[in-house]
Structures are given as structure tokens and as C-alpha cells.
């Protein structure tokens, strides 16, 4: 049996962020020599999406940890929206750049001060020693380099591009170093990754948080493709595909979920997830280089994923069609219908990617927006089902206690 390799979501997000910085730094050497084009909005938008993912899934903001309240979740969705639009639309520059500077500069400074003043961090880590000394070193490096990168972004002509590339590479290595240290700590102290203030936590699972992000992604993409299809807006197809590949990579690394179904997180799955992430990062930063390859890959994955899921949901339905029309709860019927609609739209989108001009761009935009709305409605149904389950559990346990 294939052994499942557990990588906490926090570590996965840090790995993706570190890879994005490392690959960007390496590519900047070639950009500085005129060998490659460079799309700054791609990396800016990608980093904002990574920040938003930490906020939505973990309650970790650039300024410290917070309970995942509705307000914080809304802020995370807004940051994700700005990051996604920045990736897609080349002319949307000022706001994402300012937001990124805010996250890196003041965010890095506040996190550095909080690390040394918070009694549950520096003093506690220093007392534990061992691997926690590495955590102190790694976090200090990340926060200081974060501030340095923000200064370099403000003072663009201060140093040459190759020197800036070196700083970004070191920053990426520092983030990956922290990811490695945290993975060891979570392996040694499994309960530590669950220590979060849940008083106001909205209670979204990792899968539900990712569903929220993908739903927002699809709605924004669909809405933007409508003016893009009539020539009213410029559009970066490479960044669109790259961001989609990175979201797929995060799902693969964190939970083993792929477009064609869940798999054990074996070494092969981890390797594929890292390849997906690397190709997505390159596609976000360097325009056109991987567009044709990723278009085919995403198209095939959408068709296979939609078809396989339809088969999985139809086989139980055909076996129990009488029960479905009779005693099944209305919410479950809605869940079935939304899965059906969503996967049909997914297949249609995949076909449109493999056969260009088969479906007009305007219609593709409507299909994607509808798919995103279906995903968000599916998330709504799943939350209702979770609430129903939590309501029945105390009742059943109290019944058992009275027997």
C-alpha cells in the first residue's frame, strides 16, 4: 500500500511561495540579458493570491494570526480578487503593487517585532531550543528580507536587476527553509498545527476554503473574459493558466485532490504537484512560453475530471433511482443537481480549450462565470450539510447517554 505523505497546508503554501520567489529570481537573470520577456503583474498577483490563501484557509495575515471571522474571510477574498485580476489584466498595476508593498514592508516589520515581543514565540522557542532555534533564524530572515524586497520595489533603480534577483533568490530560500523547519516541528508536535483561536472561526475546512478560492477564480475569469472577447481589455492567457496550475498544485500537495479524483500523497504525487506549481509559476512570470502546453493539459484534465465525476455520481443514482426520488433530503438532491451542472460546465470548458473558436469567447466567459457560481453554491450546500450534521451529533450522543 502506498504510504501517504502528510504535508500541512501551511507548509504547502510556504513551499509554493518560496518556489515562486526562487524561480522569479532565477528567471530575472535571463530577463536582465533580454533573453526572456517579463510580466511583473504575474508575480505580484500570484503573491497576493498566496497571501489571501493563508488568510482564507489558516487565518494567517501578513500582520499576524487572527480567528477566521466572516470579516477576515471577506478581506481574504478581496485580496484574492485583486491578485487574480492583477494576473489576468496587464494594465491593473498600481493597486496590487501598493497592496503587495503593504504586505511585505509593514507586514514584515510588524511580524518581526511581534516575534520578539510575543511571549508564546521567541522566549518559548528559545527555551525549547533545538529545531526551534532554526525557526527563530528562519523567521527572522524571512521578515527582514521581506522588508528589504519592499524597499527594492519602491526604489526600482537603486540596484541592478541581477542584484535584485540575488536578493529574491535568498528570500525564496529563506521561505523554503522555514517551510522545512515547520514540517519537522509539526511532525514532532502534531497538535501544534491545530492551535488556533476558534472562538470566531467560521469553520471552513481546507477543501471548502479551496472551493471558495476556485469559485471566486472562475467567476472573475468568466466576467473578465466577456470584455476581453470584444477587445475592450488586454488579457494574459499565460498568467490565467499559470494561476490555475498553482491552485491545482496546492490541492495535490495538501490533500491529494486532483482534477480526476483523489489519490494518496505518494512521492510521485508530491513530485507532480511540484511540477504543476513550477510550470504555473513560470507561466505567470514569462508570457506565452507555456501557453500551448498548459492549454492542452488543462483542457484534458477538465474533460477527464468532469467525465469521471459524472460517472461516479450517476452509478449510485442509477442503482438507487427510486430512493432518490423518494426519501432523500431536498438538500442532497440540490447537491446532486449542482454536481451535475458543474461537471457538465467543466467538460464544456475543457472542450473549448482543446478546440479553439469552437465556442465564442463571450459564451466561454458566461460558462466560466456560471461554473464559478455553481462552485460557490455547492460550497453553500456543503456548509448547510455540515451544520445539519453538527446539529444531529449532540442529539444522538445525548440519546446514547440516556440508554
pLDDT band at 397 (very low <50, low <70, confident <90, very high): very low
Q: Residue 303 is placed in which grid cell?
A: 474533460
Average pLDDT over residues 285-300: 89
pLDDT band at 277 (very low <50, low <70, confident <90, very high): very high
- Residue 401's pLDDT is what? 43
Residues 366 and 234 both lie in one domain: no
Per the CB < 8 A criterion, the answer to whether 363 and 199 are in contact is no
- Residue 153's pLDDT is what? 84
- Residue 168's pLDDT is what? 94
- Residue 127's pLDDT is what? 86
Q: Which of 285, 305, 338 is the last residue of a domain?
A: 285
Average pLDDT over residues 3-8: 79
- Residue 143's pLDDT is what? 95
The structural domain count of the chain equals 2
pLDDT band at 15 (very low <50, low <70, confident <90, very high): very high
C-alpha span between 213 and 218 (Å, rounded):
9
Residues 99 and 176 both lie in one domain: yes
pLDDT band at 165 (very low <50, low <70, confident <90, very high): very high
pLDDT surpassing 90 at residue 372: no
pLDDT band at 399 (very low <50, low <70, confident <90, very high): very low
Per the CB < 8 A criterion, the answer to whether 45 and 284 are in contact is yes
pLDDT band at 166 (very low <50, low <70, confident <90, very high): very high
Residues 362 and 267 both lie in one domain: no
Question: How long, in residues, is the chain?
Answer: 403
Q: What is the pTM of this model?
A: 0.87
- For residue 64, list its beta bridge partners: 61
- Residue 194's pLDDT is what? 56
Structural domain range at position 174: 9-285
Q: Residue 318 is placed in which grid cell?
A: 442509477
Residues 333 and 270 both lie in one domain: no
Assess if residue 403 is contained within a domain: no
Residues 278 and 312 both lie in one domain: no
Amino acid at each position: 500500500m502506498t504510504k501517504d505523505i502528510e504535508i500541512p497546508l501551511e507548509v504547502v503554501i510556504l513551499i509554493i511561495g518560496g518556489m515562486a520567489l526562487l524561480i522569479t529570481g532565477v528567471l530575472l537573470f535571463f530577463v536582465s540579458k533580454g533573453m526572456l520577456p517579463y510580466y511583473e503583474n504575474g508575480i505580484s498577483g500570484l503573491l497576493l493570491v498566496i497571501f489571501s490563501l493563508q488568510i482564507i484557509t489558516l487565518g494567517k495575515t501578513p500582520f499576524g494570526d487572527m480567528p477566521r471571522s466572516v470579516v477576515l474571510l471577506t478581506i481574504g477574498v478581496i485580496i484574492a480578487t485583486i491578485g487574480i485580476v492583477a494576473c489576468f489584466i496587464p494594465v491593473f498595476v498600481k493597486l496590487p503593487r501598493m497592496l503587495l508593498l503593504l504586505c511585505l514592508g509593514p507586514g514584515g516589520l510588524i511580524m518581526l517585532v511581534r516575534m520578539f515581543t510575543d511571549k508564546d514565540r521567541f522566549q518559548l522557542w528559545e527555551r525549547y531550543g533545538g529545531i526551534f532555534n532554526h525557526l527563530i533564524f528562519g523567521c527572522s530572515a524571512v521578515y527582514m528580507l521581506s522588508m528589504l524586497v519592499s524597499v527594492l520595489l519602491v526604489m526600482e533603480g537603486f540596484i541592478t536587476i541581477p542584484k535584485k534577483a540575488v536578493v529574491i533568490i535568498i528570500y525564496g530560500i529563506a521561505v523554503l527553509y522555514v517551510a522545512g523547519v515547520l514540517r519537522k516541528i509539526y511532525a514532532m508536535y502534531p497538535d501544534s498545527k491545530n492551535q488556533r483561536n476558534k472562538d470566531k472561526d467560521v469553520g471552513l475546512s481546507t477543501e471548502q476554503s479551496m472551493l471558495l478560492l476556485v469559485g471566486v477564480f472562475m467567476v472573475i475569469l468568466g466576467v473578465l473574459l466577456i470584455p476581453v472577447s470584444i477587445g475592450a481589455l488586454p488579457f494574459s492567457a499565460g498568467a490565467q493558466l499559470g494561476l490555475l496550475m498553482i491552485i491545482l498544485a496546492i490541492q495535490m500537495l495538501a490533500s491529494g485532490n486532483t482534477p480526476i479524483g483523489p489519490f494518496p500523497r505518494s512521492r510521485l504525487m508530491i513530485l507532480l504537484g511540484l511540477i504543476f506549481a513550477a510550470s504555473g509559476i513560470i507561466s505567470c512570470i514569462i508570457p506565452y512560453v507555456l501557453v500551448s502546453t498548459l492549454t492542452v493539459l488543462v483542457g484534458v484534465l477538465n474533460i477527464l475530471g468532469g467525465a469521471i465525476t459524472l460517472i461516479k455520481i450517476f452509478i449510485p443514482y442509477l442503482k438507487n433511482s427510486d430512493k432518490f426520488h423518494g426519501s432523500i433530503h431536498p438538500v442532497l438532491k440540490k447537491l446532486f443537481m449542482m454536481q451535475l451542472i458543474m461537471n457538465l460546465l467543466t467538460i464544456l470548458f475543457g472542450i473549448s480549450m482543446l478546440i479553439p473558436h469552437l465556442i465564442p469567447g463571450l459564451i466561454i466567459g458566461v460558462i466560466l462565470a456560471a461554473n464559478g457560481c455553481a462552485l460557490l453554491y455547492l460550497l453553500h450546500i456543503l456548509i448547510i450539510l455540515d451544520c445539519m450534521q453538527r446539529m444531529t451529533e449532540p442529539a444522538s450522543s445525548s440519546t446514547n447517554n440516556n440508554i
